[in-house]
Chains A and B, each alone.
Chain A
Amino acid sequence: GAGVSQSPSNKVTEKGKDVELRCDPISGHTALYWYRQSLGQGLEFLIYFQGNSAPDKSGLPSDRFSAERTGGSVSTLTIQRTQQEDSAVYLCASSPTTVGTEQYFGPGTRLTVT
């Protein structure tokens, strides 16, 4: 079956612009996670969704970051007024539930802010 997909695969944007990153999870997976991975760094948790609700937004770095999920499926991570420090790979993962089950990752979106 189809895995997790993310688009775009690469995004170059100018400082101050807004960007939207999209994630299509595996069909039927109720949980969806967003992570950020900077070069040589570990995975940084941003937010997770259970269905369409986000019980844990604790990882969002600032109020410039927001995310939504509609129909229990597609999710969009929006970064407003991008800064150079936002440059990283943004990874999305989904899992059948949130408890004790593995997460399946997409290929990521590489964001470069110039």
Chain B
Amino acid sequence: EDQVTQSPEALRLQEGESSSLNCSYTVSGLRGLFWYRQDPGKGPEFLFTLYSAGEEKEKERLKATLTKKESFLHITAPKPEDSATYLCAVQTSNAGNNRKLIWGLGTSLAVNP
């Protein structure tokens, strides 16, 4: 069964304390892996798409990486405004009309000033 697991469930950091969030996946074939940020009371905001192992993408203090089994979202010198829930989702390359994403439950990140 296709599955996406995110860890840790919650993470509390001090401002400037770098860390990584993990998204591990077991799917029959990967078409794309997506990272989103969700603030309370809002819809998820798209961050990155990764398509193949070895690929990396960066945006400000965030860098996403991908292997054949997992993806990491590295947060360098985080600020309080980086506090949010970070969601990972996978689209598989299964045949048929199934185009839906498989979502992890997210990591709730809190960055203290």
Contact = CB atoms under 8 A, between A and B. Distances in A.
Interface of A: 4, 31, 33, 41-43, 45, 48, 50, 55-56, 59, 91, 93, 98-108
Contacts, number: 59
B100 A33 contact: yes
A105 B34 contact: no
B16 interface: no
B42 A55 contact: no
Contacts of A91: 43-44
Contact of B104 (A42, A50, A102, A106): A42
B49 interface: yes
B113 to A, nearest CB: 26
Contacts of A42: 87, 103-106
Interface in B70-113: 87, 89, 91, 97-101, 103-106
Given A59-B100, A103-B34, A104-B46, 17 more contacts: A31-B99, A41-B105, A42-B87, A42-B103, A43-B44, A43-B89, A56-B98, A56-B99, A93-B43, A93-B44, A99-B99, A100-B31, A100-B49, A101-B49, A102-B34, A103-B101, A105-B36
A59 B99 CA distance: 12
A85 B23 CA distance: 29
> What 9 A-B pairs come out closest when comparing CB atoms?
A105-B43, A98-B99, A55-B97, A42-B105, A43-B103, A100-B32, A102-B46, A45-B100, A105-B44
Nearest to A6: B43
Nearest to A59: B100
Nearest to B36: A105
A4 B43 CA distance: 10
A99 B31 contact: yes
15 contacts: A4-B43, A42-B105, A43-B44, A43-B87, A45-B103, A55-B99, A56-B100, A93-B44, A99-B99, A100-B51, A101-B32, A102-B34, A103-B34, A105-B36, A105-B45
